[in-house]
Amino acid sequence: MKAGVCIRNLVKIYKTGNKLAVDGLSLDFYQDHITSFLGHNGAGKTTTMSILTGLFAPTSGTAYINGYDIRTDMDTIRTHLGMCPQHNVLFNDMTVEEHIYFYARLKGRSSKEVKKEIDQMINDVGLPHKRKDLAKNLSGGMQRKLSVAIAFVGGSNVVILDEPTAGVDPYARRGIWELLLKYKKGNRNEQM
Indicate which CATH number applies to the domain containing 123: 3.40.50.300
Last residue of some domain: 41, 76, 111?
76
Residue 192 has pLDDT above 80, yes or no: no
Q: How many residues does the chain have?
A: 192
- The answer to whether the Cα torsion of 186, 190, 191, 192 is positive or negative is negative
104, 164: one domain? yes
Predicted local confidence at residue 185, as pLDDT: 63
Residue 124 has pLDDT above 50, yes or no: yes
66, 100: one domain? no
Mean pLDDT of 11-18: 86
* % of the chain exceeding 90 in pLDDT: 47
| Domain interval for residue 108 | 96-183
Residue 187 has pLDDT above 70, yes or no: no
* pTM of the model as a whole: 0.85
- The answer to whether the Cα torsion of 88, 92, 94, 96 is positive or negative is positive
Residue 188 has pLDDT above 70, yes or no: no
Residue 56 has pLDDT above 50, yes or no: yes
Residue 95 has pLDDT above 60, yes or no: yes
* % of the chain exceeding 70 in pLDDT: 96
Q: Is 155 contained in some domain?
A: yes
**Exposed / middle / buried, residue 114 (Cβ in 10 Å: 0-12, 13-18, 19+):** buried
CB 167 within 8 A of CB 144: yes
CB 84 within 8 A of CB 180: no
Q: DSSP character for 112?
A: H
Q: Is 137 contained in some domain?
A: yes
CB 149 within 8 A of CB 125: yes
Alpha-carbon distance of 174 to 105, in angstroms, equals 28
Residue 130 has pLDDT above 90, yes or no: yes
Per the structure, how many domains does the chain have? 2
